Amino acid sequence: MIRIKDLGFSYGDYVVLKNITMNLEEGHIYGLLGENGVGKTTLLTLLCGLKKVKEGSIETDGENPFDRRPSFLSDQYYLSDEVAPMNMKAVEYARYYGKFWDGFDMEEFIEIMKELDTDPEQKMTRMSFGQLKKTYISFALACRTKYLFMDEPTNGLDIPSKAQFRKAVTKHTREDSVIVISTHQVRDLENIIDPIIILDRQDVLLNASMEEISEQLIFDYSNERQEDALYCEMIPGGNIQVLRNLSGEESKVNLEALFNTVHQNKEIIKEIFNK
């Protein structure tokens, strides 16, 4: 488990995160959502120990990530949004760097590469950006770590590859893993992320499971606009509206509508979910 308490971080005088408190538990794929510049990447790099906490604390199974003990590092992986083309074949890269992770499985790496329609024998310098991204995704999943942090992993992937990515994540991760995936393209990760964390500047607007969200909000598709809707958007065939769930009605969470609802009703959302 990851315990975050009163976390604060700034670049000089520019405060990025302030008083962030939450727990990240085993067996979940957390979706970290937010507009550009709200601190998603900063939070991920703090979680994996690449940056030092300036206020508050982060504990991962009782350890401080910034201590970066080898045994701790071998059970976590951080996949950056930026990927570098190495002057070697993908399979050579995996064979050389995989030794740093105790759980790395070469056979699984090759299997995932094929599931993502990428050739493990291809030289990485000759890959397209999308192929290179899928190579690093395959490597990250093949490391079989308990803690996996992925920063905008679907950037650069075409539509079929995004579907393949979702399948690979659900198939090739441990049951006890804690996975945090940041994105601003919420549709790419719909159906695999739960709970949902929505960051704002220096704040957490929402940290809730899909079940908790559906208990508190109704996602309604109809032609008639409701006056008490928190959010309403025209779509083909009518509207999608988000309302407070006062009747216990069940509905499917629409992540894009949820994201827009939260940003248009920040104080109301915090009041609803922080009761």
Q: What is the CA radius of gyration of the chain?
A: 20
Domain boundaries, the chain: 2-207, 210-273
Is residue 211 within 8 A of residue 179, CB to CB? The reply is: no
Say if residue 195 is preceded by a cis peptide, omega within 30 of 0.
yes
Encoded tokens for 30: 């957390």
Task: Render pLDDT for 102-142 as a digit per residue (tens, 0 to 9).
Answer: 999 999 999 999 999 999 999 999 999 999 999 999 999 99
| pLDDT attached to residue 203 | 85
Residue range 2-207, CATH number: 3.40.50.300
Which residues of the chain fall short of a pLDDT of 50?
A: none
Return the pLDDT at 275.
Answer: 59
How much is the pTM?
Answer: 0.93
What integer pLDDT is reported at residue 226 of this predicted model?
84
Residue 260 is predicted with a pLDDT of: 94
Query: Could you please report the per-residue DSSP string of 204-243?
Result: EEEEE-HHHHHHHEEEEEESSPPTT-SEEEEETTEEEEEE
- pLDDT tens string 76-96: 999 999 999 999 999 999 999
DSSP string, 117-143: T--TTSBGGGS-HHHHHHHHHHHHHHT
- Both tokens of residue 34? 């937010």
What pLDDT is stored for residue 61 in this prediction?
95
Residue type, 108: E
In whole angstroms, give the CA distance from residue 16 to residue 112. 36
DSSP letters of 14-64?
Answer: EEEEEEEEEEE-TTEEEEEE--TTSSHHHHHHHHTTSS--SEEEEEETTB-
